[in-house]
Amino acid sequence: MSTYEARLHALREQMQKDGLDGFVVPICDEHMSEYVGDYAQRLAWLTGFGGSAGSAVVLKDKAAIFTDGRYTIQVRDQVDGNLYEYVGTADQTVIDWLGANAPEGSSIGYDAWLHTQDWAKSAAAKLEKASAKLVAVKVNPIDRVWEDQPEPSLAKLDVQPDEFAGKSSADKRADIAKWLAEEGLDATVIAALDSVAWAFNIRGKDIANTPVPRGYAIVKADGSAELFVAPEKLTDDVRVHLGNAVGVRSYDEFPAALNEYQDQKIGVDPERSVAAIFEQLEQAGAIIVKKRDPTILAKAIKNETEVNGHKAAQARDGAALSQFLHWFSQEAPKGGYDELSVAAKLAEFRGQSDKLMDLSFRTISGAGPNGALCHYSVNEETNRKIEAGTLYLVDSGGQYRDGTTDVTRTMAVGEPTAEMIKRYSQVLQGHIALAKAVFPKGTTGGQLDILARQYLWADGVDYAHGTGHGVGSYLAVHEGPQRIAAHSGFDEPLVAGMICSNEPGYYKTAEFGIRIENLILVEERAIDGAEQAMLGFETLTFAPLERKLIDIAMLSPDQRQWVDDYHAKVRAAIAPQLDGDALNWLEVQTAPL
């Protein structure tokens, strides 16, 4: 019996002991985080799937794993198809699958600390139609059978100084208190980890590459607050920073603390707070008002200090990346390197800065066919050599006190094929179209997404991921509420001060992948004669494009001018930080087309 077959068998035995006929296993934690701590990697432990988004359902006689288009190939490489049916979420949701497959009279378990209330209600309704029922478990059955499950991190909290935050924690809490008064609320729950970190100007090391502490907060209408974190994580500096207006209680006290809000109006974010929070408040007799976490938009709209810090971080990070790109251009064609060693070399260049706190996510280092896996994660088993005649895609970033970076470049090793050049040039055309966009206030990212896809669409091809996501300020590399994506539900208007990624791509299965990613800042645009307020983008990322992959003849004069102007900005920002051969290389790479 294989490891994953044994684990699936152990879960089914535990389900039987718990009186369950099925169980739903998401990638999630108690805070609805995208990236989770090791203790919460239940789906990876059970199935072997290493992606950042997905779920599984285990019934007595069958099981299924659900992933989106980013992981169609990866899930088949990592998860045994003899144990799990592969289901694309675009074709069938977890809830729909349950409705079609749950046996009549069955009890399907779920952990109310890992799902939203809306999900639980929809799943319960679907199962009821199938004469089955959804049951909230008291203890997650995976936690009972995962013998060496890691403990949650006890890493110390850290203060994010006002010189980087641009606004004090007291002022942020005052803004929240003002919002509470306007909404007629007594308090609000803040459950998202990056929201807690932002509101209190604290950081942590509880999730790899995302500098957040594991904790909850309740902010009250008088501006006071309670912070729920493991007491071992607090330092004297953090206690002084939080001050007398913030009461600190143990993380484990949070559920019981919700019982203290009987007859009080409390705001809870239904998208970012798990079902268990709603259940606890309902049992306590609180008056629940569903409202978006008041920090979400404020966090997304960067203040002047954060914008300036981000630009400084980008210039610093761009120099490290440019040094790597120069090194790669010289060394990769010689052979002897692979995805892991090249990613380590990039980390080495970034690590030369004493301002680097961490990487912003695990580097996506994809050579040849591995580059065709949009969110590929290299390991010892999948590690490929860098070979001549292939493309190499590297998506990476750094965490700095003054900003979070995220950038993707695609390089040709040796001479690229005509198809590689064509597709890269089309991706570049889409990238430029989005970078140059000018649009009225109130425009959403979903309305702009087509700009980046149009040149690929014209050729009958596309990419299976969004074009852009928000980025935090020494926080999460994926930050809402804004997105640039075609899917329904992404209707958040873009606002000056938001930072997004611009990352169209193309992926040819089993052959190569292409992505060009820069970060862009939404800014106000003054236009002579304009009859309404307009916005546009400022490109923040500084790193050369791959000249060998650009078909100049495919670019319009305006597109060629954009490339030349962009490279001039790269040269101005990066050249003062380089010398010798790297500087000479930069001058060549950024010369006019």
Domains defined for the chain, CATH in brackets:
3-145 (3.40.350.10), 158-295 (3.40.350.10), 301-589 (3.90.230.10)
- Contacts for 553 with CB less than 8 Å, ≥ 6 apart: none
What local confidence, expressed as pLDDT, does residue 489 receive? 63
Quote the CA–CA distance of 108 and 23 in Å, as a whole number. 5
Structure tokens at 194: 């990056």
Are the CB atoms for 218 and 196 separated by under 8 Å?
no
Quote the CA–CA distance of 214 and 27 in Å, as a whole number. 16
What local confidence, expressed as pLDDT, does residue 90 receive? 83
Quote the CA–CA distance of 215 and 156 in Å, as a whole number. 12
Q: Which of 125, 106, 276 is nearest to 191 (CA)?
A: 276
Crossing angle between the packed helical segments 117-129 and 94-101, to the nearest 10 degrees: 20
Which amino acid is located at 476 in the chain? Answer: A
DSSP H or E stretch at residue 548: none
3-state secondary structure 168-219: CHHHHHHHHHHHHHHHCCCEEEECCHHHHHHHHCEECCCECCECCCCCEEEE
Could you give the maximum distance between any two Cα atoms of the chain, in Å? Answer: 73
Quote the CA–CA distance of 434 and 81 in Å, as a whole number. 39
439: three-class secondary structure by DSSP: strand
Using CA atoms, how far residue 85 sits from 82, 448, 545, in Å, is: 8, 35, 41
The C-alpha torsion from 423 through 425 and 427 to 432, rounded to 10°, is -170
Quote the CA–CA distance of 232 and 41 in Å, as a whole number. 23
What local confidence, expressed as pLDDT, does residue 491 receive? 84
Residuewise pLDDT in 10s, the chain (593 residues): 799 999 999 999 999 999 999 999 999 999 999 999 999 999 999 999 988 889 999 999 999 999 987 788 888 889 989 999 999 888 899 999 999 999 999 999 999 999 999 999 999 999 999 999 999 999 999 999 999 999 999 999 999 999 999 999 999 999 999 999 999 999 999 999 999 999 999 999 999 999 999 999 999 999 999 999 999 999 999 999 999 999 999 999 999 999 999 999 999 999 999 999 999 999 999 999 999 999 999 999 999 999 999 999 999 999 999 999 999 999 999 999 999 999 999 999 999 999 999 999 999 999 999 999 888 888 888 999 999 999 999 999 999 999 999 999 999 999 999 999 999 999 999 999 999 999 999 999 999 999 999 999 999 999 989 999 999 999 999 999 999 998 756 689 999 999 999 999 999 999 999 999 999 999 999 999 989 999 999 999 999 999 999 999 999 999 999 999 999 999 999 999 999 999 999 999 999 99
Render 127-170 in DSSP notation, one character per residue.
Answer: HHHTT-EEEE-SS-HHHHH-TTPPPPP-PPPEE--HHHHSS-HH
Tallying the residues shown for the chain, one arrives at: 593
Burial of 291 (0-12, 13-18, 19+ CB in 10 A): middle
